[in-house]
Amino acid sequence: MCLGKGRKRPLTVHHLNQILLVCSVVLLVAVVAVRISSRSGLPSLLIYLGIGIAIGQDGIGDIQFDNAELTQVIGYAALVVILAEGGLGTKWSEAKPALRSASALALAGVAVSVGVTASAAHFLVGLEWRQALIIGAVVSSTDAAAVFSVLRRIPLPSRVTGTLEAESGFNDAPVVILVVALSATGPVEHWYVLLGEILLELAIGAAIGLAVGWLGAWGLRHVALPASGLYPIAVMAIAVAAYAVGATAHGSGFLAVYLASMVLGNAGLPHWPATRGFAEGLGWIAQIGMFVLLGLLVTPHELGDDIVPALLIGLALTLVARPLSVVVCLTPFRVPWQEQALMSWAGLRGAVPIVLATIPMVRGVTGSERIFNIVFVLVVVYTLVQGPTLPWLARRLRLGEDSGAADLGIESAPLERLRGHLLSVAIPDGSRMHGVEVGELRLPAGAAVTLVVRDGTSFVPLPSTMLRHDDELLVVATDPVRDAAERRLRAVGRGGKLAGWLGTDGSQAER
């Protein structure tokens, strides 16, 4: 089976049947692989890459694929979805305190990392300066999906998670611009001209992303759609539109989609848990498809000569460039050394570097195949090293302490004609709402618990009804007190019946 540029036969229904069968089997294997990766501590991206290699030309599938241009297009589309899913899951309460430090890492940190890594590639491996700079730029972008697929099981301080997540969302944009500029056919302009172009594109992308996100959130909160399933589709469509508008306006589309998604994710939209689940599912599909395709593109028997150079460049990146960039950027913000150490080791490389390594291949840069092979080996080897050791390092640095009770899952459905909302509240294990009576919730006037579902049966609660784990509550709230009611419910979920006396409010509960 051939999927590369050389296939001239038209696509028929028979070919479609084969493609659908292969895709469904790959998806099922990838879903099972997520369970394996969660137990082993390995990022699932490595398993997806392995699937692509296994069905490729050197594997059992013997699928011939060498279309770097198609891989870049699909990779860009997948990155848009991944960044949208990451932005929707970013809590502003965590990102806001880390905004300055994350921005410093995404700009100054990338510059330090590119300089150190490119110097190592030139002096240790002997690459030409242009090739060395391209590799330094490609591997200087961290991958949020890779980092949090490992750290999602460990509660970390909000400053650490906020910084890592925001940095991963921000640094894609300047790195993409830098790689495209270095891969251009003509000579690179003066550094200050290139810096000005990067800053201009970032400013345009940020402005468009914030504007599209705000307009989209305003529209979804004021227009009642006829079906709840339309809300997730509308949210993702708005996020993708932010990328398209930003890129068309010669701005950073990647920064636009991330910021627009962050605005939407913190706007308190209706049916939010359904939207979050839909976006997460699309994110998984994007990751699986992209990594399998990248695994198909690589030719394993050609990697032998590039293993040692990849290891040397990776050592310089992991042990020198990343820690130096973290120290330079975070020391002025008085970040404790324990957090700096964890963030230095948590600079995992995943989807973004491998996709960016296809840009010089498409542009016809001399030695681009070697650049791709070095980046591929570097990502695989150092993800294998860093991924499983991140949870251990977090515990050794005493940054993996228990962060408190589990948060509540609240879904809101608008009642347009009644000017009110239905809040569906699930009480998970670990919530301190267990043992609290309905009357002790002390919801604001205009909000009330109207129904409790327990052990498969529903009943109307009394003020003395005691809530339990796994209960589901139906709370009716009028429009003016909807946000206050949700904050109060989250506060009780975190702090119990004495949440107000203990100083636990809704915003603190979200953190």
Provide the CATH number for the domain around residue 464: 3.30.70.1450
Residue 404 lies in a domain: no
Q: Is 424 helix (H, G, I), strand (E, B) or coil?
A: strand
Do 442 and 309 share a structural domain? no
Say which DSSP state 226 is in. Answer: S
Between CA 382 and CA 476 the distance in angstroms is 51
Considering Cα of 189, then 190, then 193, then 197, what sign does the dihedral take?
positive
Domain residue limits at 277: 13-396
Among 373, 396, 419, the domain-final residue is 396
CA-to-CA separations, 260 to 20, 182, 244, in angstroms, rounded: 33, 28, 12
Q: What pLDDT sits at residue 510?
A: 39
The whole-number pLDDT of residue 155 equals: 67
Task: Let me know whether 131 and 218 are in one domain.
Answer: yes
Phi, psi of 281 (to 5 degrees): -65, -45
Q: Are residues 58 and 23 in the same domain?
A: yes
Give domain status of residue 1, yes or no.
no
Q: Report DSSP state, residue 477.
A: E
Query: Is 8 part of any domain?
Result: no
**Whether residue 143 sits in one domain with residue 267:** yes
Q: Indicate whether 137 and 242 sit together in one domain.
A: yes
Structure tokens at 149: 């697929």
Whether 252 and 366 map to the same domain: the answer is: yes
Residues 80 and 200 reside in one and the same domain? yes
CA distance linking residue 179 with residue 211, whole number of Å: 27
Q: Does residue 376 form part of some domain? A: yes
Cα–Cα distances in angstroms (integers) from residue 127 to residues 118, 122, 311, in the given order: 9, 5, 14
Residues 319 and 433 in one domain: no
- Do both 91 and 29 map to the same domain? yes
Supply the pLDDT for residue 146: 67
Query: pLDDT truncated to tens, each residue of the chain (511 aa)?
Result: 555 554 555 667 777 787 788 788 888 887 877 766 666 556 677 778 888 888 877 667 667 777 888 888 888 898 899 889 888 888 887 778 888 888 899 888 999 999 999 999 999 998 999 899 999 999 988 876 666 566 556 667 778 878 888 888 788 888 888 888 888 766 666 677 777 888 888 899 999 999 999 999 999 888 877 777 888 999 999 999 999 999 999 888 888 999 999 999 988 888 787 888 889 889 888 888 888 888 888 888 788 888 999 999 999 999 999 999 999 999 998 888 988 998 899 887 877 788 888 899 888 888 888 999 999 899 888 888 887 788 788 888 888 654 455 556 666 666 655 567 888 888 988 888 888 999 889 899 889 999 999 988 889 999 889 999 889 999 998 888 888 888 889 888 888 877 766 555 544 433 3
- Establish if 5 belongs to a structural domain: no
Do 130 and 248 fall into the same domain? yes
* 402 falls within a domain: no
Place of tokens 């961290």: 142
Instruction: Look at residues 347, 367, 396 and tell me which one is the last residue of a structural domain.
Output: 396
CATH number of the domain that residue 322 is part of: 1.20.1530.20
Q: Packing angle between helix 158-170 and helix 172-182, nearest 10 degrees? A: 30
- Give the per-residue pLDDT at 49: 81
Give the global pTM: 0.74
Predicted local distance difference test score (pLDDT) of residue 235:
94
Residues 245 and 1: their CA atoms lie apart, in Å, by: 37
What is the total count of domains within the chain? Answer: 2
Asked if 435 and 384 sit in the same domain, the reply is no
Residue 301 confidence (pLDDT): 79
Classify residue 403: in a domain, yes or no: no
Do both 332 and 367 map to the same domain?
yes
Where is the domain boundary, 396, 422, 450?
396
